[in-house]
Amino acid sequence: MGMGAAVPGNRGAGDLGGEGRWGSPRGAGRAALQIRLSWLCGSDSVPSLVVVLAASIVSKSGKALVSRQFVDMSRIRIEGLLAAFPKLVGTGKQHTYVETENYIALLNMRKVPEYSPSLDEEGICKTAFELIFAFDEAISLGNKENVTVQQVKQYCEMESHEEKAHKLMMQAKINETKDIMKKKANELDKMRMERGKLDKGGYSSISGPRVIEKTFSDMSISGTGFGSGSGLGGLSTDMDSFASKPKGRAPAAAAAPGKGLVPSRSASLAPSDPVTVTIEEKLNVVVKKDGGINNFDVQGTLALQVLNDADGFIQLQIENQDIPGLSFKTHPNINKELFNSQQILGAKDPNRPFPSGQNETPLVKWRIQGMDESSLPLSVNCWPSVSGNETYVNIEYEASEMFDLHNVVISIPLPALREAPSVRQIDGEWKFDSRNSVLEWSILLIDQSNRSGSMEFVVPPADPSTFFPISIGFSASSTFSDLKVTGIHPLKDGNPPKFSQRARLITANYQIV
């Protein structure tokens, strides 16, 4: 509604004359648009001396959707004028303007669709700033500007040759940077291929250190391995390859730079011995809160690290505990007959050494399935109960005697809370993550002295299902398979190199649901 200057007299409402209409032609639920854009853009139907107090768009009920004041007026004043306007218009009639003792209201909605295609309340509110900018281009200090609709549209779009040139220049720089990155990537790939070809008939290796992104406790083993033909490469150590269905990840062999056994990951600690063996098992466990197991899966990997080329001519003698459901999968170029008959890990070609460097090379992986609930390293029970205006939650854990667990963290989801829960009793430490609304119960070590423990806390009334699923994380220095290297056999004359080994059991996914 474009409100003009105070004009004496009350001549009532003028007819629309086909120029605009109150409301939207699409239905009564549309917003009523009350603004004379045609006059603001140069029409001579109204004297030019009239000063516009405000340009507004209101609904039929008088609710202000957009309002731009051009003179000093209080908010209460402008809202009062807008609220009274629908009563003056009435129903069943169409108007181009309405005049009262205090102001003249000019109406026309023909130009509003230029800026707000949707003529309802939601559409007007979404384009409020575009409409206000259009008002400012058409009206200056309450006086109309001598501009056309196309000029207003052009000014609002703010087309600038300099801006376009700047954007083109920035896009050219981005494209140039992408081209440089592609060239660098191609150069690196060629370097890797050349390194693989340098080793004629032997293993190729990349001895340079790689970036260590994770600690030993949460490293994932996935990388390249032995090749085909005369080289070694193509071993995918993705544990999901044991399963019958893929997980959607690209095979590790797709990234192999060529022939040769390429180490897959960096060691977390700098080795001090010529040969280091790393044995790692990961747990994937889903336990039902009412008892029973949805999933209990153990996946393991043995990786080798050799510091010097001369120490790569070796074979590893291993042994493991014979447990049901244990199955091994060796590298394609490892001597499978030797492994199956004598449990010795060695290459098919004894004249080719294992790669050397600062990175570990996976040689064999295994999987254990079919274990029951009694084999779980850690069991957790949660008992929430509502009493009055509070929910009491009792949680207890019970650890197996098979393992000593380190850095145990039990994460319990909570309802949205303003303050931390009231912890009444706890064996260990606790921390409240307010951002994720999770209570973390931490026990540094679970051994013979504390195979069981409990915690009790109180929160406002909540549904018992709110406290699930419970996530658990821990590590142990022994494994289910108890696989270990008992000795190293040199393939050339001389004493076997000194070696060390480390074993670790970690949780990949351990939940109570």
Whole-number Å distance between alpha carbons of 51 and 3? 8
The least confident of 71-85, 112-126, 386-400, 453-467 is 112-126
Whole-number Å distance between alpha carbons of 116 and 325? 67
Residue 334: both structure tokens together: 């490892």
Tell which residue, 477, 246, 221, 254, has the closest CA to residue 363: 221
Whole-number Å distance between alpha carbons of 42 and 58? 23
Whole-number Å distance between alpha carbons of 436 and 419? 13
pLDDT at 209: 35
Query: Is the pLDDT confidence value at 227 over 90?
Result: no
Residue 89 contacts by C-beta under 8 Å, 6 or more apart in sequence?
Answer: 13, 22, 95, 98
pLDDT at 439: 95
Q: What angle do CA 345, 347, 351 make, to 5 degrees?
A: 135
Q: Which residue has the higher pLDDT, 184 or 384?
A: 384
Q: Which residue has the higher pLDDT, 281 or 362?
A: 281
102 and 9 in contact (C-beta within 8 Å)? no
266 and 209 in contact (C-beta within 8 Å)? yes
Query: Is the pLDDT confidence value at 240 over 50?
Result: no
Burial class (CB in 10 A: 0-12, 13-18, 19+), 375: middle
pLDDT at 116: 67
pLDDT at 211: 34
Residue 334 contacts by C-beta under 8 Å, 6 or more apart in sequence?
Answer: 226, 345, 346, 347, 348, 363, 364
Query: Is the pLDDT confidence value at 203 over 70?
Result: no
Give the side-chain half-sphere CA count within 13 A for 145. 14
DSSP characters for 166-201?
HHHHHHHHHHHHHHHHHHHHHHHHHHHHHHHHHSSS
Whole-number Å distance between alpha carbons of 108 and 48? 17
The least confident of 30-44, 65-79, 278-292, 388-402 is 30-44
333 and 347 in contact (C-beta within 8 Å)? yes
pLDDT digits (tens, 9 = 90+) for 404-462: 999 999 999 999 888 999 999 999 999 999 989 999 999 999 999 999 999 999 999 99
205 and 260 in contact (C-beta within 8 Å)? yes
Indicate the helix (H) or strand (E) that contains 142.
none
pLDDT digits (tens, 9 = 90+) for 159-189: 667 778 888 889 999 988 888 988 888 888 8
pLDDT at 187: 85
| Mean of pLDDT over the chain | 74
369 and 325 in contact (C-beta within 8 Å)? yes
15 and 96 in contact (C-beta within 8 Å)? yes
Confidence of residue 96 (pLDDT cuts 50, 70, 90): low
Look up tokens 């142990």; give the residue. 476
Question: Can you give 344-406 as a three-state secondary structure string?
Answer: EECECCCCCCCCCCCEEEEEEEEEECCCCHHHCCEEEEEEEEEECCEEEEEEEEEECCCCCEE
Tell which residue, 173, 17, 4, 167, has the closest CA to residue 100: 4
pLDDT at 224: 37
Residue 480 contacts by C-beta under 8 Å, 6 or more apart in sequence?
Answer: 281, 298, 300, 321, 323, 368, 371, 375, 505
Query: Percentage of the chain surpassing pLDDT 90?
Result: 33
